[in-house]
Chain A
Amino acid sequence: MAKRTKSKEDYYLASQWTLMARKLKKHKLAQVSFIILAVLYIGALFADFLAPYSLDEFDGLYRNSAPTEIYTIFNDEHVGPHVYKLAKTIDKKTFEVKLEPDLSEYYKIEWFVHGTEYKILGLFPCDLHLFGVGEGSNGGTGAKIFLFGADSLGRDIFSRVLLGARISLSIPFASAFISFFLGVAIGSISGYFGGVIDIIIQRIIEVIGAVPQIPLWMALSAAIPAGISTVKMYFYMTIILSFINWTGMARVVRGKFLSLKNEDYVMAARISGVSTWKIIWKHLVPGFMSYLIVSLTLGIPGSIVGETSMSYLGLGIKSPATSWGVLLQEASSVTDVAANPHKLIPIIFVTITVLAFNFLGDGMRDAADPYK
């Protein structure tokens, strides 16, 4: 009995975040999603190291080649994981040029190989890559390992998925934060002050909401001047994506404000002479922070789709920089994809990420109502 009372008291005394975390722990799918997202983000952070090749490395011979096959047995002898170099062969009957593995020598897959130089986290120069292909058993060179195959220019899709993840995963995140601050600021102004300000802000939100999202995104992206640097492009994309997303956040904040601003504790703070901004940030915002985090999480998948679609259409990130959307451009021709289905691999990453954010957001939404 005493124990029960204690746990009950714990329950009532626990902060909202503790309760949320506790509830989230029960939501298996959300947990798995969180782990997947963590892996993806860490992967993107150390993409240079994890990817065997850099963005501009290519091998014309390997154009459109399927994922490199990995063998372990060479001439009936177990030599560990290795690959073969591809060589052009001509079918004597049909005169078709084919790429066949050259079985005369094998190339071992090695850990921590030296390759193109890069900077870890953009700071320390380094040329180590997690794995790569070493020298051939007869001293030959030039074998490649393309885990996900190669694109039409002979570039490694695996490396590009990893390096593209940096942009595809960070733009939505950055834009989510911008829309978060915009949304909270504008929504709280609208909700707290009400009156004419509220009416004007509501009208603006309504108008932005009425314009279909992707056409508006397209129109805004089309406005980005051609031939600008990738960094600038990145910046513009972030702004464009947040341009629409803040409205949803602002609406949530406004609604919460309207319901909370007449609560006794707000009245008490006001009577004690606390300043308006302090009331907003210290008393009101914490009251619905969990809801905001949830809508933030649920807003990210939309931005991912936005960035991917824009880049896919060539209105966003452009080569030589890459994102998942740019990679999907390779998949736009049906006949090409039918011949090289490995070009659909980036789709798996987009889908998994979007699903994971949705599941995580859903789990958090359930958890945000901790007393339920």
Chain B
Amino acid sequence: MEKDNIIEVKDLHVDIKMMEGTLTPVRGVNFEIKRGETLGLVGESGCGKSITCKSILAINDRKCTPHGEIMFRNEDDTEVDILKMDPKGKEIRNIRGKQISMIFQEPMVAFSPMYTIGNQITEATLLHITKDKKKAKEISLEVMRKVGIANVEKRYNQYPHEFSGGMLQRALIAMALVCNPKLLIADEPTTALDVTIQAQILELMKELQKEFNMAILFITHDLGVVARMCDRVAVMYLGKVVETGDSKTIYANPQHPYTRGLMGSVHKIGGRKDERLFSIEGTVPLAMNLPKQCGFYDRCDCRIEGLCDKAEPELVEIEPGHKIACFNCSNPACQAHRAEVEKRLAEEAANPVEPDEGGKKRGKR
């Protein structure tokens, strides 16, 4: 684990056992976040973003079984693997809320309607920082003020239904920040809000990030938000990161056909070409019994027949900090990867016996 990194996700897979078979919404995700940095995780609905970030806190549904490694730099600067912890144990609970906290998509349902906002914010403080109720309340009020909630004394004793959506999102942010975490996971925090309020909330998050010096994992499908918020971007498709790099680089020079499609839809909104781009051959396939091919194969407009439907490309670094997973790219690193895979395929065709690497990766564990 590099010294600067606060978290490293390595080859994360998540399986969900179902009656019909095993669903693999996450199929090998890799990324890392440095201190104070913002990483945007971008992708369509159902590409595994949310499951990935829930895995970081080990709060996935009981049916989900994650594999791989999630290395986290603990308080005492030791490195711990979150996936090795008991999801109900004390160790992980000491990380949740205290060192890594999360903001959820819909503030309206993220609070229990049964308790006051104050009660729910202070709960984390009481768990992690102080047992003194008075002090805990002081801390909560302070954070509530910081996130821009007016009249905090009164608001503290109000119930969620007495708050507006934007106010609730602020309260939710306050709840996430109350223990001064090192990493904040924001799962589409502005999707459920009005556009004007969205801007306010994003601005607020930026300010608070500076003040608290925390890293943010920002999950969204809105590229505009990414441009505004993130230092780096990881684009996910069908449970895999297909392109990652500095947000500036990716905006200026997207390499993966899927990323290009996404960018196109933002820049030329309303154009005919874009509509076609996003309606290519249905939707993201169901991540179950996936064939041994590039996940984007069915929808790709520059696929290579005989290669893309036979093997899955891996992430290759094409310039410092910029990685893509695609065979059809003129970059020498990609070409090398392509040649290597083509050679392997040719060998396999010659003596077709053993199960290949790709098979292993798709979660036969």
Contacts and interface: CB of A to CB of B under 8 A. Distances in A.
Do A and B touch (CB < 8 Å)? Answer: yes
A4 B285 CA distance: 9
A143 B157 CA distance: 85
Nearest to A26: B19
B298 A1 contact: yes
B286 interface: yes
Interface string B136-156: 000000000000000000000
Contacts of B285: 1, 4
B282 interface: yes
B360 to A, nearest CB: 23
Range for the number of chain A residues in contact with chain B = under 10
Contacts of A1: 285, 291, 298
Majority secondary structure, B binding face: loop
A11 to B, nearest CB: 12
Range for the number of chain B residues in contact with chain A = under 10
A5 interface: yes
A4 B298 contact: no
Contacts of B286: 4
Contacts of A5: 282
B23 to A, nearest CB: 14
A1 B298 CA distance: 9
Interface string A1-24: 100110000000000000000000
A347 B326 CA distance: 71
B293 to A, nearest CB: 10
A1 B299 CA distance: 12
Contacts of B291: 1
Interface string B268-303: 000000000000001001100001000000100000
A115 B298 CA distance: 74
A6 to B, nearest CB: 11
Contacts of A4: 285-286
B315 to A, nearest CB: 25
A191 B282 CA distance: 40
Interface in A1-57: 1, 4-5
B294 to A, nearest CB: 13
Contacts of B298: 1
Interface in A156-213: none
Interface string B86-110: 0000000000000000000000000
A349 B298 CA distance: 58
A5 B299 CA distance: 14
Nearest to A1: B298
A5 B284 CA distance: 11
A346 B255 CA distance: 77
Interface in B237-293: 282, 285-286, 291
A8 to B, nearest CB: 8
A3 to B, nearest CB: 12
A4 B291 CA distance: 12
A4 B289 CA distance: 11
Interface in A329-352: none
B308 to A, nearest CB: 14
Interface string B299-326: 0000000000000000000000000000
A199 to B, nearest CB: 26
Nearest to A9: B282
A127 B286 CA distance: 64
A270 B291 CA distance: 49
A4 B282 CA distance: 12
A127 B210 CA distance: 96
Interface in A301-332: none
A371 B285 CA distance: 18
B61 to A, nearest CB: 16
A54 B296 CA distance: 74
A5 B291 CA distance: 15
A4 to B, nearest CB: 7
A5 B282 CA distance: 9
B305 to A, nearest CB: 15
A101 to B, nearest CB: 55
Nearest to A5: B282
Nearest to B289: A4
A205 B364 CA distance: 58
A5 B286 CA distance: 10
Nearest to B298: A1
Interface of B: 282, 285-286, 291, 298
6 contacts: A1-B285, A1-B291, A1-B298, A4-B285, A4-B286, A5-B282
Please name the 3 residue pairs, one residue from A and one from B, whose CB atoms are nearest each other, closest first.
Answer: A1-B298, A5-B282, A1-B285
